[in-house]
Structure formats: C-alpha cells, structure tokens
C-alpha cells in the first residue's frame, strides 16, 4: 500500500514542481516588465514573489532528486538557496553588486543536469540542456564574453529551464524509474543503519 501511494504521488509532485516553476517564470517576466515601465515598487514586490516561488521549486527539486543522490541534491539546493538570498538582497540593495546570483545558479543547473542524467526518470536531453545552461550561466559572468555570446547564453539558459519546467508540468516523471531510485536509496539507508525516507 505504501509503495502504491509513493508511486501515485511521484508524478503529481513532479507536475506541481513544474507548475510552480512556470509561476516563477511568469512572475519574473512580469517583474522585468514592471521595472522597465518605471514601476519599481511593483516590480520589486513581484520579484520577491518570483524569488519565493524559486525557493519552493528548489525544495521540491531536492525532494525529487533525493533518491538519485541525497548529497548532490542537497548541494544543488544549497547553491540555489544561496542564489535566491543574493537575488533577494540585491533587490533591496543590501548585497554587493559584484556578487551575482549566477555564481550560485550556474552550479545549481549543472548539478540538476547531472542528477537528471543519472536519474532514469527524466529524459537525458533535459539533463544535457541543464548542464549546458549551468556552464553558460558561469561563462556569462566572465567580463570578456562578447554581448552576442552573452545573449545566446541567456537564451540557452532560459530555454533549458523552461524545457524542464514544461516537461515536469505536462509529463511528470517516469514513476517506475523514480520508484526504482527511491527503493535503491531506501535499501542503502537500511544497509547503513539509517531511517528510510
């Protein structure tokens, strides 16, 4: 019975992650639009909502990829949460302008890409796209990167994350693959004397 509940809940949780990821994209785009129209206060409030959405997405990703590698999933979550903190502090001019959230979101995307490649419950192409996006976000911070190349990196990063978002929203995960990873993790926890999660 417990296994059936886990299997049934894996796909809806993945779809909920996709829905919140999409909400993040929509609020982040709206915030940029508002700031561009001179509505800085409304834009900042919308940016805070977008950041909160990304924090929740980060926690859902941690839960989703924990069966693949608890340690790497936690590391990815910590990078993303640090990026969210820097982003939030930047909104209120409380962080140094030289500290970019991409310094944290680059490794986050790289790790998520790697976890997808190892997962067996999401298409490998999504993992490759996310890994390239992570490398792109890190390259984006280099001062010598020409404008046309930085624009290409932005487009790649946006498309990679949007592809993952839409896949999760429409398709969810391969439940059998996710359950296999979860069973392996539970067996490993029991073998090491830990509690199964």
- Consecutive sets of 10 residues in the chain, 197 residues long: mean pLDDT of each? 52 89 93 84 88 95 93 96 91 74 92 95 94 86 68 83 93 83 68 50
Phi-psi region of 69 (alpha: psi -120 to 50; beta: other; left: phi over 0): beta
Residue 72: per-residue pLDDT? 96
Residue 95: per-residue pLDDT? 66
Inter-residue contact 79 to 104 (CB < 8 Å): yes
Residue 39: per-residue pLDDT? 84
Residue 92: per-residue pLDDT? 78
Question: Of all helices (H) and strands (E), which one includes residue 59?
Answer: helix 40-65
Beta-carbon contacts of 15 under 8 Å, excluding residues fewer than 6 positions away, are: 168, 169, 170, 172
Inter-residue contact 182 to 67 (CB < 8 Å): yes
Residue 111: per-residue pLDDT? 97
DSSP state of 192: T
Question: Of all helices (H) and strands (E), which one includes residue 149?
Answer: helix 147-170
Residue 57: per-residue pLDDT? 96
């Amino acid at each position: 019975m417990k296994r059936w509940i886990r299997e049934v809940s894996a796909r809806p949780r993945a779809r909920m992650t996709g829905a919140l990821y999409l909400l993040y994209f929509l609020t982040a785009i709206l915030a940029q639009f508002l700031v561009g129209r001179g509505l800085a206060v409304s834009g900042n409030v919308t940016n805070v909502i977008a950041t909160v959405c990304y924090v929740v997405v980060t926690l859902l990703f941690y839960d989703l990829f924990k069966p693949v590698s608890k340690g790497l999933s936690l590391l990815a979550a910590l990078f993303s949460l640090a990026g969210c903190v820097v982003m939030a502090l930047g909104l209120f001019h409380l962080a140094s302008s030289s500290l970019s959230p991409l310094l944290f979101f680059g490794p986050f995307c790289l790790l998520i890409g790697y976890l997808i490649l190892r997962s067996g419950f999401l298409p490998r192409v999504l993992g490759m796209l996310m890994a390239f996006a992570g490398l792109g976000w890190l390259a984006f911070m280099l001062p010598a990167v020409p404008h046309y190349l930085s624009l290409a990196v932005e487009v790649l990063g946006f498309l990679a994350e949007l592809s993952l978002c839409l896949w999760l929203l429409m398709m969810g995960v391969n439940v059998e693959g996710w359950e296999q990873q979860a069973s392996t993790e539970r067996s490993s926890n029991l073998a090491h004397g830990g509690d199964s999660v």
